[in-house]
């Protein structure tokens, strides 16, 4: 095994002794022949045997002595891989040009009709042999290079088929050229088929070139996400602002972000405010206003203000890193629909080899003269037309594009199985609080001039309804009054003295207890309660002065999201712990007909199972924390992301943008992806099932039709390209 030399950056070096320590530690590794560390450039150059030493070994040897090797930087590996791929593509392009050019010359000199106007030199078999040799053994070398080690493993792949097919055509032509009398003796006209072997190689390599280019597009999403990462952070140290590489930021660092800059890592704003474009991570197109205490997400774009914030998550814990991990895992997973394709493709190549042999035998034994030639050319056509690659690419390429597309719009799909299940969903159950609603009560109606008194009283209360009243007064600029003798009456309300008047605020029971006449407010009270609102009554000196209604408000997108789902023929159900009245009121507002009210959190899972027993495929949409068991019990759990945490174990799909319309988008994306997969599989299998028998010559007895091996190679090359291109079409789908 050849030695490999690698140069990589070392972080944390500051003196000459670091050099010695590092060199010693690296040299001690078994398999390392030399290690040179340069203090000036802060780099290490190591020569080693890659079979004995891995990047991880080098990294830990450096870490053991207290430094950090820049070997695992994802961006660097990406860069290296890109360069490697580009070089491969460049080599491939050269091979395609040379083989198609030489193939065209041979075709000109050998194709009936064309050969009459060809220079005599090109019609010479020996010249054709000389032109075919570089195509067969230089351009076509990669087919042999893949076939030989595969045969050692007793496996065969597409390269095996192409290598055998072109070798048969080339060898036969070489024999015809060198020993024409030998072929004549068996009654066959000595005509070489170098055009077949060369053009097949040229066209298949051309197909591979386009396929490689298209395939690179299927994994673009991850690269895009990695590219979002900021490179540096402006950290405050001893009162000064210092730019440091992002991987050196630690939790607790205070970072300054200016307008137009990327936010380096996740954190919490300490000072200042701004409008932040989070679309690249959450898919939410409107910029979000943030101020002190709000969380910010790394890799999002600061638009207008300058602020200081404290890093709370760095490295692999940031939201972006978690998204990248989740998408990468989803793209590595396998959809159940792929199992059959996998099973078939594992038998496919040997089956084609057996069919090719059978084709030659049948043509030779029962075919018309020259039966040897017919058998040979049809056998080559069978070997060339079979395309196992299209079957192998059909599902994974679509999954990769589909999951990537989702991630771009804040829809994180856990695995291929979730993506596949989502398209079968016919019932969506929404949890009410925090999913359909904002989960935060607000004042919706104020009857009478009571807000000032109510807010002044509630200022001292900690009840969630009190918070709603106080924030309403703040938003309306109401001045609060001084309260004395404040008293909270648990289960009823509050009371206190304002401007020497006794003010009480609370529910109907409190009014009854205090024997306050509310008969003139009863009608309004009932109507507000019908709307699912919680109503409190304010009384001054034992006389009712007015009402305040409080309710959890619907999310802006709730109604539209539910309507869209219903338009798709999906039943929508709401589940909540609230009483039937409140639940019905909310359900009516969004247009949900089936309501499961007064369901305790631990009963939600059972309710989901009940609906499943009705034969429905259920998606449960919840916040992912309180609803975890219900999400896990559903056929697919859809979690509305919270904060910067995207690791939702129980959910198959996580919506980072908390937008209900994304539930529709996720189901539609799943439908589109599945349609693409089915089209791909239909094309890949249909292609092989129809064209292999045609190549064998099944149409010959009826129509005298045979498939020229050159056309077989055109069909073969285009079949995998069409599958990958079809998957790439998913990118155009608008979410």
Partner 1 sequence: MSTDKILVATLGLVGIIFTFWFFLMKREKEVSVENEVDITVSGGYSPEVISIPKGKTTKINFLRTDPTDCLSEVVLADFKIRKTLPLNQKVSVEITPQKVGEYAYSCSMNMYHGKIIVK
Can residue 264 be called a binding residue for partner 1 (CB under 8 A)?
no
Of residues 95, 208, 409, 617, which one binds partner 1 by CB under 8 A? 208
Give the contacts of 190 (CB within 8 A, at least 6 positions apart): 176, 180, 181, 183, 184
Can residue 340 be called a binding residue for partner 1 (CB under 8 A)?
no
DSSP string computed for 709-723 = HHHHHHHHHHHHHHH
Alpha-carbon distances, residue 671 vs 400, 565, 618, 695, 726 (angstroms): 15, 13, 15, 35, 15
Can residue 649 be called a binding residue for partner 1 (CB under 8 A)?
no
Minimum CB–partner distance for residue 145 and partner 1 (Å)? 7
Kindly compute the dihedral angle of the four CA atoms of residues 599, 600, 603, 609, in this order, to the nearest 10 degrees.
Answer: 40
Q: CA 50 to CA 352: how far, in whole Å?
A: 37
Q: CA 642 to CA 246: how far, in whole Å?
A: 24
Mark the segment that binds partner 1 (CB under 8 A) among 51-59, 432-440, 449-457, 690-698: 51-59
Can residue 360 be called a binding residue for partner 1 (CB under 8 A)?
yes
Can residue 345 be called a binding residue for partner 1 (CB under 8 A)?
yes
DSSP conformation class of 136 = I
CA gyration radius, the chain: 36
CB nearer to partner 1: give 156 or 511: 156
Annotation marks residue 317 as catalytic: no
Can residue 53 be called a binding residue for partner 1 (CB under 8 A)?
yes
User: C-alpha 622: how far from its chain's center?
Assistant: 21
Of residues 55, 72, 268, 668, which one binds partner 1 by CB under 8 A? 55
Question: Could you give phi then psi for residue 266, rounded to 5 degrees?
Answer: -70, 150
Mark the segment that binds partner 1 (CB under 8 A) among 176-184, 346-354, 527-535, 707-715: 346-354
CB nearer to partner 1: give 59 or 553: 59
**Pairing outcome for strands 493-498 and 484-489:** antiparallel
Kindly compute the dihedral angle of the four CA atoms of residues 380, 381, 383, 388, in this order, to the nearest 10 degrees.
Answer: 160
Mark the segment that binds partner 1 (CB under 8 A) among 235-243, 386-394, 522-530, 637-645: 386-394
Can residue 342 be called a binding residue for partner 1 (CB under 8 A)?
yes
Residue 508: count other Cβ atoms within 10 Å of its Cβ: 17
Terminal CA-CA length for the chain:
50
Mark the segment that binds partner 1 (CB under 8 A) among 142-150, 170-178, 254-262, 602-610: 142-150
Can residue 349 be called a binding residue for partner 1 (CB under 8 A)?
yes
Can residue 598 be called a binding residue for partner 1 (CB under 8 A)?
no
**Helix locations, 53-138, DSSP H:** 55-64, 74-110, 120-123, 125-134
Q: Which residue has the tokens 């490689």?
A: 212
User: C-alpha 292: how far from its chain's center?
Assistant: 33
CB nearer to partner 1: give 128 or 322: 322
CA neighbor of 158 nearest in space, from 646, 723, 688: 688
Minimum CB–partner distance for residue 12 and partner 1 (Å)? 24
Minimum CB–partner distance for residue 687 and partner 1 (Å)? 16
Minimum CB–partner distance for residue 103 and partner 1 (Å)? 22
Minimum CB–partner distance for residue 122 and partner 1 (Å)? 33
Question: Could you give phi then psi for residue 647, rounded to 5 degrees?
Answer: -80, 80
Q: CA 292 to CA 273: how far, in whole Å?
A: 7
Minimum CB–partner distance for residue 370 and partner 1 (Å)? 13
Can residue 182 be called a binding residue for partner 1 (CB under 8 A)?
no
On the CB side of 655, CA atoms within 13 Å amount to 21
Q: CA 298 to CA 318: how far, in whole Å?
A: 7
Can residue 140 be called a binding residue for partner 1 (CB under 8 A)?
no
Of residues 61, 255, 376, 391, which one binds partner 1 by CB under 8 A? 391
Give the active site residue among 266, 431, 552, 623.
431
Q: H or E stretch including 511?
A: helix 508-513
Within positions 76 to 115, which residues make up the interface with partner 1, using CB under 8 A? 77, 80-81, 84, 88
CB nearer to partner 1: give 397 or 461: 397
The answer to whether 235 touches 244, Cβ cutoff 8 Å, is yes
Of residues 213, 223, 310, 334, which one binds partner 1 by CB under 8 A? 334
Minimum CB–partner distance for residue 528 and partner 1 (Å)? 51
Of residues 182, 357, 690, 705, which one binds partner 1 by CB under 8 A? 357
Q: H or E stretch including 234?
A: strand 232-237
Mark the segment that binds partner 1 (CB under 8 A) among 342-350, 550-558, 643-651, 701-709: 342-350
Within positions 148 to 177, which residues make up the interface with partner 1, using CB under 8 A? 148-159
Q: CA 446 to CA 139: how far, in whole Å?
A: 82
User: Is residue 412 reached through a cis peptide bond, with omega within 30 degrees of 0 on the bond before it?
Assistant: no
Q: CA 403 to CA 408: how far, in whole Å?
A: 9
CB nearer to partner 1: give 159 or 278: 159
Binding-site size, partner 1 (CB under 8 A):
60
Give the contacts of 704 (CB within 8 A, at least 6 positions apart): none
Can residue 45 be called a binding residue for partner 1 (CB under 8 A)?
no
Minimum CB–partner distance for residue 491 and partner 1 (Å)? 48
Q: H or E stretch including 385?
A: helix 371-385
Can residue 333 be called a binding residue for partner 1 (CB under 8 A)?
yes
Of residues 350, 601, 643, 686, which one binds partner 1 by CB under 8 A? 350
Q: CA 215 to CA 146: how far, in whole Å?
A: 20
Q: Which residue has the tokens 């024997």?
A: 515
Of residues 17, 20, 34, 50, which one binds partner 1 by CB under 8 A? 50
Mark the segment that binds partner 1 (CB under 8 A) among 124-132, 256-264, 354-362, 447-455: 354-362
Minimum CB–partner distance for residue 399 and partner 1 (Å)? 10
Alpha-carbon distances, residue 594 vs 42, 80, 157, 427 (angstroms): 66, 56, 54, 11
Minimum CB–partner distance for residue 362 and partner 1 (Å)? 9
Of residues 56, 65, 130, 647, which one binds partner 1 by CB under 8 A? 56
Can residue 252 be called a binding residue for partner 1 (CB under 8 A)?
no
Of residues 415, 521, 578, 605, which one binds partner 1 by CB under 8 A? 415
Minimum CB–partner distance for residue 315 and partner 1 (Å)? 18
Q: CA 536 to CA 461: how far, in whole Å?
A: 14
Of residues 38, 285, 304, 346, which one binds partner 1 by CB under 8 A? 346
Give the contacts of 84 (CB within 8 A, at least 6 positions apart): none
Binding mask 689-718 for partner 1 (x = CB under 8 A): ------------------------------
Structure tokens at 6: 């690698």
Within positions 212 to 241, which residues make up the interface with partner 1, using CB under 8 A? 212
CB nearer to partner 1: give 333 or 534: 333
Can residue 388 be called a binding residue for partner 1 (CB under 8 A)?
yes
CB nearer to partner 1: give 307 or 348: 348
On the CB side of 663, CA atoms within 13 Å amount to 38
Give the contacts of 688 (CB within 8 A, at least 6 positions apart): 348, 385, 386, 387, 390, 391
Of residues 302, 331, 673, 680, which one binds partner 1 by CB under 8 A? 331
* Positions marked active-site: 431
Which residues contact partner 1 by CB under 8 A? Answer: 1-2, 4, 50-51, 53-56, 77, 80-81, 84, 88, 142, 145-146, 148-159, 208, 212, 328-334, 341-342, 345-347, 349-350, 353-354, 357-358, 360-361, 364-365, 388-389, 391-393, 396, 415
């Amino acid at each position: 095994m050849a030695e490999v030399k690698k140069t990589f950056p070392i972080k944390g070096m500051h003196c000459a002794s670091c050099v010695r320590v590092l060199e010693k530690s690296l040299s001690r590794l078994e398999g390392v022949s030399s290690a040179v560390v340069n203090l000036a450039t802060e780099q290490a150059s190591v020569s080693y045997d890659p079979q004995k030493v891995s990047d991880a070994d080098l990294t830990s040897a450096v870490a053991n002595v207290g430094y950090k090797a820049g070997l695992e930087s994802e961006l660097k590996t990406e860069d290296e891989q890109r360069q490697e791929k580009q070089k491969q593509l460049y080599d491939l392009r050269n091979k395609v040009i040379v083989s198609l050019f030489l193939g065209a010359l041979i075709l000109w000199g050998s194709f009936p009709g064309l050969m009459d106007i060809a220079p005599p030199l090109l019609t010479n078999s020996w010249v054709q042999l000389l032109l075919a040799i570089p195509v067969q053994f230089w351009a076509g070398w990669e087919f042999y290079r893949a076939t030989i080690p595969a045969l050692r493993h007793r496996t065969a792949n597409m390269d095996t088929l192409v290598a055998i097919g072109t070798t048969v055509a080339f060898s036969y032509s070489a024999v015809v050229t060198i020993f024409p009398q030998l072929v004549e003796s068996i009654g066959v006209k000595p005509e070489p088929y170098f055009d077949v072997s060369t053009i097949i190689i040229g066209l298949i390599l051309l197909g591979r070139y386009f396929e490689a280019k298209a395939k690179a597009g299927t994994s673009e999403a991850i690269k895009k996400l990695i590219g979002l990462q900021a490179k540096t952070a402006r950290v405050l140290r001893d009162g000064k602002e210092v730019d440091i590489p992002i991987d050196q930021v630690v939790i607790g660092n205070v970072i300054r972000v200016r307008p137009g800059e990327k936010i380096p890592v996740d954190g919490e704003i300490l000072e200042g405010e701004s409008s932040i474009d989070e679309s690249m991570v959450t898919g939410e197109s409107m910029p979000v206003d943030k101020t002190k205490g709000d969380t910010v997400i790394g890799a999002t774009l600061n638009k207008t203000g300058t602020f200081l914030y404290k890093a709370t998550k760095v490295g692999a814990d940031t939201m972006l890193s978690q998204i990248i991990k989740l998408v990468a895992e989803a793209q590595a997973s396998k959809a159940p629909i792929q199992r059959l394709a996998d099973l078939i493709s594992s038998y496919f190549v040997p089956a084609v080899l057996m069919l090719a042999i059978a084709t030659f035998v049948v043509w030779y034994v029962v075919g018309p003269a020259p039966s040897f030639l017919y058998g040979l050319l049809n056998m080559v056509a069978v070997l060339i037309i079979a395309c196992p690659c299209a079957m192998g690419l059909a599902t994974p390429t679509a999954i990769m594009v589909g999951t990537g597309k989702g991630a771009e719009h804040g829809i994180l799909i856990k695995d291929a199985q979730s993506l596949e299940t989502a398209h079968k969903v016919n019932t969506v159950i929404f949890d009410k609080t925090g999913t359909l609603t904002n989960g935060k009560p607000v004042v919706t109606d104020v009857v009478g001039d009571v807000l000032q008194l109510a807010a002044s009283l509630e200022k001292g209360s900690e009840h969630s309804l009190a918070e709603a009243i106080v924030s309403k007064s703040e938003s309306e600029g109401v001045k609060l009054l001084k309260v004395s003798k404040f008293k909270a009456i648990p289960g009823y309300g509050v009371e206190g003295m304002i401007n020497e008047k006794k003010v009480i605020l609370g529910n109907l029971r409190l009014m009854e207890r205090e024997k306050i006449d509310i008969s003139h407010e009863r009608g309004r009270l009932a109507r507000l309660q019908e709307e699912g609102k919680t109503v409190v009554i304010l009384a001054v000196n034992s006389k009712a002065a007015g009402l305040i209604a409080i309710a959890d408000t619907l999310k802006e997108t709730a109604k539209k999201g539910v309507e869209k789902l219903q338009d798709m023929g999906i039943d929508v159900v709401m589940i909540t712990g609230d009483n039937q009245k409140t639940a019905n009121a909310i359900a009516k507002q969004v247009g949900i007909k089936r309501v499961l009210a007064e369901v305790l959190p631990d009963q939600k899972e059972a309710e989901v199972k009940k609906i499943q027993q009705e034969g429905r495929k259920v998606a449960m949409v919840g916040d992912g924390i309180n609803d975890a068991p219900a999400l896990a019990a559903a056929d697919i759990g859809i979690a509305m992301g919270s904060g910067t945490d995207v690791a939702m174990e129980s959910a198959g799909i996580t919506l980072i943008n908390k937008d209900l319309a994304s539930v529709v988008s996720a189901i539609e994306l799943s439908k589109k992806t599945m349609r693409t997969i089915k089209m791909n599989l239909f094309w890949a299998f249909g292609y092989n099932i129809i064209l292999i028998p045609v190549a064998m010559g099944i149409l010959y007895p009826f129509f005298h039709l045979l498939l020229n091996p050159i056309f077989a190679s055109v069909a073969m090359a285009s079949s995998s390209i069409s599958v990958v291109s079809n998957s790439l079409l998913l990118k155009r789908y608008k979410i």
